Amino acid sequence: ADGARVPALVIGTGYGGSVAALRLAQAGVDVHMIEMGMAWDTPGPDGKIFCNTREPDYRSYWLRTRTKAPLNYFLGFPIDRNIPRHTGILDAEEFGGITVYQGRGVGGGSLVNGGMAVTPKRENFGAVLPSVNADEMYGVYYPRANAGLGVGTIDPAWFDSTACYQYARVGRKHAQRSGFPFVFVPDVYDWDYMKQEAAGTVTRSALAGEILYGNNHGKKSLQQTYLAQARATGRVAISPLHKVTSVAPAAGGGYAVVIEQLGTTGDVTATKTVTADRVFFAAGSVGTSKLLVMLKATGALPNLNDEVGRGWGDNGNVMCGRANHMWDPTGALQSAIPCCGIDNWAAGGAFAEVAPLPTGIETYASFYLSITNNPHRARFSWNAATGKVDLDWQASWKQPSIDMAKTIFDKINAKEGTIYRTDLFGVYKIWGDHLTYHPLGGAVLNKATDNYGRLTAYPGLYVIDGSLIPGNTSVNPFVTITALAERNIEKIIATDL
């Protein structure tokens, strides 16, 4: 409520925020979490909380009047459609050179993501987080994160037999025939539930094309894991549809946090100020970076250091499809949850997920999301004229990612006698190079913060999300974001409270 005082306020309810809330509560600290998105705990008129990827409706996008599907064309035809403006679940946030997809709601990105829960290879960790002790991460914090998130791996025997992963088996065959290492990728989806979906004994979710706009069953989002545990402590309150707009030192100590309450069309219905002894920035790489850059430039937190806003990367995301021969159908029924990848990181700088195209019809297409070792890093800066934060990413900076992805797919195409699909991202456009699902950086660990996420100019202010990671994790990022948050909050609880 307006005028309240709280010991710890967490901005955002994604991975970093959920870890912070749970561990602080377990240490006896009362926590208030502020989340700009909706609670996603109430069914809509169709009886479902989340809408389907094939039928986007008012629930699908954050304050847009037209969908912006990542795969925006099919057979050369645009597939986007008009929708009512609503505080929906997926934000396609547009900057000059890139569209950044993010989850909005209690659970952050865990609501919309594929649940691929990948721990980087240890040999790559030094480049991911250079100032962090790898022994501690691989001995303690990665295992803790994997346990807390409920990570599991597909039963290989079931993988070999189920119709819904035919597309992935085609992906495996083509990878192996070109000599690339094929790997199973763990996920937070309940694999036993998926087996029952395939057997027809439970309501389908992954097998009904649910993914980008939320899964109604099967996926263990943060609402089922860290946040459920946090609520069970009785010490964590969550305010959905509340957006933090300012944090500044308060006269009597602590920090004054200004919060706008939002209606479901994005209108501001109330403005509140609370005082917090400690504030944890967990608004995601883009959300936290935008807040910190704005607060530094506008004089609320002028002593934040000059690294704030720097070191942002796209995790080298780039997408493409291949057209298979008629003897390699990929299946009309495709699980929306990816389960495997092609690892060419060491030789070619690319790790490609074999991704679904859950259209419900046979497409003879193989689809891939590659994570590549793109060297470019962008910077967020305050634009006083527009009153907004800009990002200086250039569209042409995706070229190294395309070149790295081609180390895999040019070879596979040559071996198989196949070609790239040119109809998925536009009219005659091969590469999905306009977007990222994996924003990272902007408040980099040991640069913008100390080595545990403290904003040292302001005791009691912390960063604890993907903005700490300098732009690339070599695999999908949320396990690393979670593990780093576990490491940092343990230190903060031990030394600062």
- Find where tokens 């069970």 sit: 232
Query: Is residue 112 involved in binding ligand FDA (CB under 6 A)?
Result: yes
d(CA 26, CA 182): 40
Q: Which of 129-137, 284-292, 339-347, 397-405 is the region at the interface with ligand FDA (rule: CB under 6 A)? A: 284-292
Instruction: For ligand FDA, give the closer residue by CB, 207 or 369.
Output: 369
Choice from 23, 59, 104, 278 touching ligand FDA (CB under 6 A): 104
Q: Minimum distance from CB of 121 to ligand FDA (Å)?
A: 15
**Is residue 229 within 8 Å of residue 149, measured between CB atoms?**
no
Q: Return the number of the residue (118 or 405) whose C-beta is nearest ligand FDA.
A: 118
Nearest Cα to Cα of residue 319 among 152, 72, 121: 72
Catalytic residue check, 438: yes
Q: Does 35 bind ligand FDA (CB under 6 A)?
A: yes
User: Does residue number 341 form part of the binding site for ligand FDA (CB under 6 A)?
Assistant: no
The partner residues of 10 in beta bridges, in order of sequence, read 33, 280
Burial bucket for residue 287 (CB in 10 Å: 0-12, 13-18, 19+): buried
Token pair 């189920």 in the structure block, residue: 162
Which residues, other chains included, contact 462 with Cβ-Cβ below 8 Å and sequence gap of 6+? 20, 278, 279, 280, 281, 449, 453, 454, 455, 488, 492
| 209 is a contact residue toward ligand FDA (CB under 6 A) | no
In the complex with ligand FDA, the residue whose CB is nearer, 15 or 180, is 15
Q: Does 436 bind ligand FDA (CB under 6 A)?
A: no
Nearer to ligand FDA, 411 or 431 (CB): 431
Q: Is 93 a catalytic residue?
A: no
Binding residue (CB under 6 A) for ligand FDA from 20, 21, 88, 115: 115
CA distance 139 to 122: 11
First-to-final CA distance of the chain = 24
d(CA 207, CA 204): 5
User: Rule CB under 6 A: is residue 101 a binding residue for ligand FDA?
Assistant: yes
Residue 398 one-letter amino acid: K
Contact between 218 and ligand FDA (CB under 6 A)?
A: no
Q: Looking at beta carbons only, is 178 or 229 nearer to ligand FDA? A: 229
> What are residue 118's phi and psi, to 5 degrees?
-115, 125
Contact region with ligand FDA (CB under 6 A), list: 5-13, 141-149, 164-172, 442-450: 5-13
35, 210, 353, 486: the catalytic one is 353
Q: Does 9 bind ligand FDA (CB under 6 A)?
A: no
Tokens 């609501």: give the residue.
Answer: 111
Q: Which is nearer to ligand FDA, 94 or 403 (CB)?
A: 94
User: H/E element holding 486?
Assistant: helix 478-496
Q: How far apart, in whole angstroms, are the C-alpha atoms of residue 232 and residue 22?
A: 9
The residues annotated as belonging to the active site are: 353, 438
Which residues contact ligand FDA (rule: CB under 6 A)?
A: 11-16, 34-37, 101-105, 108-109, 112-116, 212, 243-244, 282-285, 287, 291, 437-438, 465-466, 476-478, 481
